[in-house]
Structure formats: C-alpha cells, structure tokens
C-alpha cells in the first residue's frame, strides 16, 4: 500500500503508476504471474471472501435441487431475499462504517468530496437514496432472475455439473480463470455501453456517480444489470459446479459494492487493512474515457485507454478525448 497522494486530485492512491497484471507480458513472466495470482487470493482481500461466501451459499442458502427443477415462486423468493440480504449487508455495512459514521475518517479514501445529498440528477435528489433504490430493486431482481434461470437449468440437466471429487484440477483452474473471464466480459460490455445512444439510454445512469460509494456499484439502469450478470452464460459452454456460478455472481453482487467503496481498504489496526477499493475503476468514474476493464486484463492497454493514475496519463486521456471530439480518432 502507499502514500497519501501528492496530486491534488486524489486524497489517497495506491502505488503509482498502476500496473496491469503480468499474465499478458511478452516474453512471458511465469514466476511473476504466479506470485500476482496468489496475491490476488490473499485472505485479507475480497476475492477470497467471495469464494467463502459462494461456498456458504451452496451449502446453506440454496433451495434443494428437486425444488428448483420446477419454476415456482417460493424458492425464487427465497433466493431473492438472500440476495437482498447479501447486497444490504455488503453495501449497507460499508456505507455505514465508512461514510455515515466515518470510522476511519479520510484515511485510505481516494476522493475526499462527500457523496451528494442534494443533486437533481439523482432519483429522489440524493446520491445514496438513488444508489440504494436501483441496487435493491432492479439489481437484486435481475441477479435473482439470472440465478433462477441457471439453477433451473442445472436442476433439469441443461447445464453440465462437475464435482470437485471427479475433476479437482479443472475445478480449481476454472475458479482461478473466472475473474479473468469476468474482466474480459466487463470490458467488452462496458466499452459498448459507452457508445453514443447506449450511453445516453443506459450507462449514463451509473455515471451520475463521479465520486463513488458502496451503493454506487450496482446503481445502474435495469438493462445494464441484465448485461452485467450475463457473463454466467459461459457455463452453457463450460461445465462447472454451482459454487463456480455463485462465485461469478459474487464478483458483481458483492464485488460491485466493494469496488466502488471509495476507499482503498478498511483499516485493521495501524498497519494493516482489508483491501477493497478499485482505484483502476475509480479513475474511470473520474476521467471517463479510460479504464473500461480491470487491472487483471490487458484490454485497456491494447486499446490505448489505460490510465495508470499519473498526471501524464491525465493529459494523454484528455488529449485522446479532444481528438475524438474533433473527429480525428
Ligand atoms: Zn463507464
Ligand atoms: Zn462503476
């Protein structure tokens, strides 16, 4: 972790310049790649928690397969309530701790500007109320609809289920690959949603949040919710276990709130922190035409939209925008 930021734009940044994961470097860097992968699964990081939650859901909070073979409101409602609780605890807990009660002040906070209490652009004229409303209505419902479809397919044999006992190596490899797949899917759909009318109709709802809080993560147009969760369609092509599916859902259901939290982490004592925030994506909310994907995937670098957090990148992205506005790019 790093220093309070010398640049006035930010109150705090991680070490700059940001770096893309070494998986994509040429010549290949196998040792650095393995170290990076292991670091991304550290216990004091969100990814490991998402996996624990995914396993817990499968063991204790999923309706029996026999019930899910038939579409019926009772088990769908159970899933909807469970997902409502997951989003409420994740986003609500972080919002109360960091923003309402300001338990660590501005320590590790990216952007000191307060969340907007009065701004006409938001539903109900308030950033937090707007963000909560769209997360808890459309967000929970669309997530539940996707989960209902996928679990109904599992229960009826339309999806091929593997088990850890039968294929332990593939089970683990697929788990490691899911965040990279989700990163690719996120980049593609996000980049498309920035195109003219699609942006105006749908994605602009999410971009009302220039500075973000945990509730901003899933504050988006219902069409964008449908697209966001559609990465699970992969499992019609790739055999998996429901734990993989739940882990993939957690990358959005819990991951969207944690990545928009506005802080680099929750402090644990003087020196440690549970790492949460995503400065890579925070830069997207601030500078807009950059960082459409995430730091695990190379797409932004390859397409010239990577912002590494430095003043030089600010200028390069501004220049890129100027050229686009003047029709030169
Ligand atoms: Zn965007
Ligand atoms: Zn966002």
How far, in Å, from the CA of 285 to the mean position of ligand 1?
A: 7
What is the residue-wise DSSP string for 169-181?
Answer: HHHHHHHHHHHHH
Ligand nearest to the Cα of 194, by number: 1
Closest ligand by atom to 213 CA? 2
Ligand 2 center to 272 CA (angstroms): 26
Question: Can you give the pLDDT at residue 329?
Answer: 43
Q: Which ligand is nearest to the CA of 260?
A: 2
What local confidence, expressed as pLDDT, does residue 4 receive? 55
Torsion of CA 190, 283, 21, 323, to 10 degrees: 70
The answer to whether residue 15 is domain-embedded is: no
The CA 143 to ligand 1 mean position distance, Å, reads 20
315 CB-near residues (< 8 Å, 6+ apart): none
Distance 278 CA to ligand 2 centre (A): 10
How far is ligand 1, taken at its centre, from the CA of residue 273, in Å?
A: 28
Q: Does any domain span residue 322?
A: no
Q: How many angstroms separate the alpha carbon of residue 218 from the centre of ligand 2? A: 8
Is the separation of the CB atoms in 231 and 186 below 8 Å? Answer: yes
Q: Is the pLDDT of residue 37 over 60?
A: yes
240 forms beta bridges with 161
Percent of the chain with pLDDT strictly greater than 70 = 97
Rounded to the nearest angstrom, the distance between the alpha carbon of 217 and the centre of ligand 1 is: 11
CA of 272 to the centre of ligand 1 (A): 31
Give every CB contact of residue 131 below 8 A, 6+ residues apart in sequence: 122, 209, 213, 215, 216, 218, 219
Cα-based distances in Å from 13 to 35, 164, 198, 228: 22, 40, 31, 27
Give distance in angstroms: CA of 192 to centre of ligand 2. 14
**185 alpha carbon to ligand 2 midpoint, in Å?**
15
Range of the domain at 275: 22-297
Q: Please list the alpha-helical segments (H only) found in the chain.
A: 30-40, 46-60, 65-68, 73-87, 93-94, 127-134, 140-155, 168-193, 196-198, 204-207, 222-228, 242-253, 255-259, 279-287, 299-302, 311-325
Sign of CA dihedral 319, 322, 326, 327: positive
User: What distance in angstroms lies between residue 91's CA and the mean position of ligand 2's atoms?
Assistant: 14
Pairwise CA distance, residues 116 & 131, whole Å: 11
Mean pLDDT confidence for 253-259: 97
Residue 107 has pLDDT above 90, yes or no: yes
* Spatial separation of the C-alpha atoms in residues 59 and 56, rounded to whole Å: 5
> Distance from the CA of 19 to the center of ligand 1, in angstroms?
20
Closest ligand to C-alpha of residue 204 is 1
Query: Cα of 295 to ligand 1 centre, how many Å?
Result: 15
Domain membership flag for residue 55:
yes
Residues 139, 87: contact at Cβ < 8 Å?
Answer: yes
Q: Is residue 318 part of a domain?
A: no
Q: Domain tally for the chain?
A: 1
Least confident of 83-92, 250-259, 319-328: 319-328
State in Å: Cα 167 to ligand 2 middle: 36
* Residues paired with 45 in a beta bridge: 275
Q: Residue 328 domain-assigned?
A: no
Give distance in angstroms: CA of 151 to centre of ligand 2. Answer: 28
pLDDT digits (tens, 9 = 90+) for 269-322: 888 889 999 999 999 999 989 999 999 999 999 999 999 999 999 898 888 888
Cα separation of 83 and 297, whole Å? Answer: 28
Mean pLDDT of 70-88: 98
Ligand closest to Cα of 209 equals 2
Residue 213 region by backbone torsions, left for phi larger than 0, else alpha for psi between -120 and 50, else beta: beta
Q: 216 CA to middle of ligand 2, Å?
A: 7
How many residues comprise the chain?
A: 329
Is 226's pLDDT higher than 70? yes
pLDDT, tens digit (0-9, with 9 covering 90-100), for 166-208: 999 999 999 999 999 999 999 999 999 999 999 999 999 999 9
* Cα 217 to ligand 2 centroid, rounded to whole Å: 6
CA distance 321 to 327: 10
Whether residue 293 is contained in a domain is answered as yes
Rounded Cα–Cα distance for residues 67 and 63 (Å): 7
| Residues in CB range of 127: below 8 A, 6 or more apart | 115, 116, 117, 119, 208, 209, 213, 216
182 touches 231 (CB < 8 A): yes
Q: Which stretch of 58-62, 113-117, 138-142, 228-232 has the lowest confidence by average pLDDT?
A: 113-117
Contact (Cβ atoms closer than 8 angstroms) between residue 247 and residue 234 = no
CA of 211 to the centre of ligand 2 (A): 10
């Amino acid at each position: 972790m790093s220093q309070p930021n010398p640049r006035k734009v930010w109150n705090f940044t991680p070490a700059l310049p940001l770096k893309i994961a070494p998986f994509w470097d040429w010549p290949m860097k196998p040792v650095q790649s393995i170290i990076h992968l292991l670091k991304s699964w550290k216990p004091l990081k969100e990814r490991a928690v998402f996996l624990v939650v995914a396993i817990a859901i499968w063991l204790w909070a999923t309706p029996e397969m026999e019930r899910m073979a038939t579409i019926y409101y009772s088990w769908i409602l159970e899933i909807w309530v469970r997902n409502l609780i997951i989003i409420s605890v994740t986003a609500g807990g972080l919002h109360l701790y960091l923003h309402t009660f300001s338990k660590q002040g501005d320590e590790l906070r990216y952007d000191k500007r307060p969340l907007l209490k009065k701004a006409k652009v938001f539903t109900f004229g308030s950033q937090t109320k707007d963000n909560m409303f769209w997360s808890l209505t459309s967000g929970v419902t669309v997530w539940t609809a996707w989960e209902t479809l996928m679990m109904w397919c599992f229960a009826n044999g339309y999806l091929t289920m593997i088990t850890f006992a039968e294929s332990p190596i593939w089970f683990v490899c697929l788990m490691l690959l899911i965040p990279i797949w989700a990163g690719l899917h996120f980049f593609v759909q996000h980049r498309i949603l920035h195109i003219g009318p699609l942006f105006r109709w749908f994605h602009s709802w999410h971009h009302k949040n220039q500075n973000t809080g945990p509730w901003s993560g899933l504050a988006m147009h219902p069409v964008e919710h449908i697209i966001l969760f559609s990465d699970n369609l992969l499992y019609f092509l790739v055999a998996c276990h429901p734990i993989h599916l739940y882990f993939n859902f957690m990358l959005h259901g819990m991951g969207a709130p944690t990545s928009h939290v506005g802080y680099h982490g929750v402090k644990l004592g003087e020196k440690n922190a549970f790492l949460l925030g995503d400065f890579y994506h925070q830069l997207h909310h601030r500078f807009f035409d950059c960082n459409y994907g995430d730091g695990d995937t190379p797409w932004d670098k390859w397409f010239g939209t990577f912002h590494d957090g430095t003043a030089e990148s600010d200028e390069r992205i501004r220049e890129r925008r100027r050229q686009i506005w003047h029709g030169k790019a």
